[in-house]
Chains A and B, each alone.
Chain A
Amino acid sequence: MALERHHNGWIILLTFIAGLLLTIIPIPIWAMSWRPEWIIMILTYWCLALPQRVGVVTGWSLGILQDVLSDTLLGQHALTLSLIAYVSVISHTRVRTFPLWQQSVGMGLLVVGNQILHVWIHGMLGHPPTSWTFLYPALTSVVLWPWIFIILRDLRRTYHVC
């Protein structure tokens, strides 16, 4: 039992790396403001599926990496991602029973909260947002969440990640 408790963690790591790649991969200009929040979706999935394994600390470390990757203030993504991980971990027993579309709505709200936190931090640094485009990622994330959920669930089941 003790041996089996941590099993195939590299799958989790790989999905996070894929998420980081998708976050910085070049896309056309028109699509830039619509880029879904891959990291948030992947982190939320693992927090819901394996809350005893992936949680606040994972979210925070991932956030630090994303801060370096996207040249934001060190701690900015760490703060938002650890908060998202916290929300997902404490509510995982409820959210797991939700149908996918309700989860999607929840995901949308999470991303909106995340974006508002980022806008707030940027506002404090003296750059208030000039348009509402910062909310677009919430829409794409809502649309993509069911697919991400199904793909990651299949991955988890195939490789018996637990």
Chain B
Amino acid sequence: MKPLFKKGPSATLRIILLGILSLVLMMFDHRSGYLQQVRAYLSVAIYPIEYAVIFPVKAGQWLSANFGPRWALIEQNAKLREENLSLRFTLQKFDDLKTENERLRSLLDSTTKITQDKVLVAEVLAMDLDPFTRKLKINKGAQHDVFEGQPVLDAQGVMGQVTRVSPLSSVVMLVTDPNHALPVQVVRNGQRTIAMGMGATNRLALSYIPNNSANKGDITIGDILVTSGIGGQFPSGYPVGKVLEVNLDIGQPYAQVQALPSASLERNREVLLIWTNPQPIDDKAEIDKTPLNKPKVEPTHFKQEAKPR
């Protein structure tokens, strides 16, 4: 048995060297951004594995779309049409309110402008990456102009933000991650607070709410929270969650408030990436057009809507 005696460095030597190397790598990765590029390359190499995970789901969708019964498709189509109609109706109202809001703001000489956000749908490649954190991997990356810190939403509310971008995929930190903090506001009275993740799947902690202000009813069970836009990372006014419980503890400086995130964080297969301030320069011209032109088009807008019907 030659191989038993004739091998390179012994396992002990190897483990010592590789152990030290791992520790050095971890330190570098934590303290500096040198390894960002290495990780990006490796993540491209590993992309097939991530894609293979969603492939069965995609195949199932394709199969059911192609070989599903005709009546099911017709039914689905009718339902979507109905939904589209009602959404359009709300949008009409929204347009109306938006112009009104802009007019009122101009009367007040306030410069805040409601901008049109660019949206891109991304698919979730993997969730539950690491049991100690709350993160997702999505199938859009630097190639699709995703940037670090980009807000990620779903149909119900804010999901989190992009924390790591590689060419084909990126990692989203959910609002429930213990590392995540989000400036929010109570819709009812504008009370500002910060929604921190707790590492639990479906809970947010609201911090720095003084006991007496909670006692006065500045925050009560059932209050709706939206992003406040402070900090500049997230656009304001997107739903974040609902207050679940308020505990007044005299021994603590602040009230213990918990909220339920409104986005279905662990059940989504698709998420929305939004660009509020168009980041890539070449897209800027295209996007800037909309908010500028919108008010001018507005008066004829309803006529145009009415014509086809």
Q: Which residues of A contact B (CB under 8 A)?
A: 5, 17, 20-21, 24-27, 29, 32-33, 35, 52, 55-57, 60, 63-65, 68-76, 78-79, 82-83, 86, 89-90, 118-119, 121-122, 125, 127, 129-130, 133-134, 137
Q: Mark B1-35, 1 if CB is under 8 A from A, else 0.
A: 00110010001101100110111111011100001
Tell me the smallest distance from the CB of A114 to a CB of chain B, in Å.
Answer: 12
Q: Do A71 and B135 form a contact, CB below 8 Å, given A21-B52, A127-B199?
A: yes
B127 within 8 Å of A (CB atoms) = yes
B128 within 8 Å of A (CB atoms) = yes
Mostly helix, strand, loop or mixed at chain A's interface?
helix
B14 x A69 contact (CB < 8 A): no
B132 x A56 contact (CB < 8 A): no
Q: State in angstroms the CA–CA spacing of A17 and B77 once bound together.
A: 39
Q: Which residues of B contact A (CB under 8 A)?
A: 3-4, 7, 11-12, 14-15, 18-19, 21-26, 28-30, 35, 38-39, 42-43, 46, 49-50, 52-53, 124-133, 135, 137, 163-164, 171, 178-179, 198-201, 266
Tell me which residues across on chain B come within 8 A of A60, comparing CB atoms: 18, 21-22
Q: State in angstroms the CA–CA spacing of A129 and B200 once bound together.
A: 11
B128 x A32 contact (CB < 8 A): yes
Q: State in angstroms the CA–CA spacing of A56 and B22 once bound together.
A: 12
Contact partner of B19 (CB less than 8 A), chosen from A57, A83, A121, A133, is A83
Tell me which residues across on chain A come within 8 A of B29, comparing CB atoms: 73-75
A55 x B23 contact (CB < 8 A): no
B11 x A5 contact (CB < 8 A): no
Q: Do A52 and B49 form a contact, CB below 8 Å, given A26-B128, A27-B128, A125-B30?
A: no
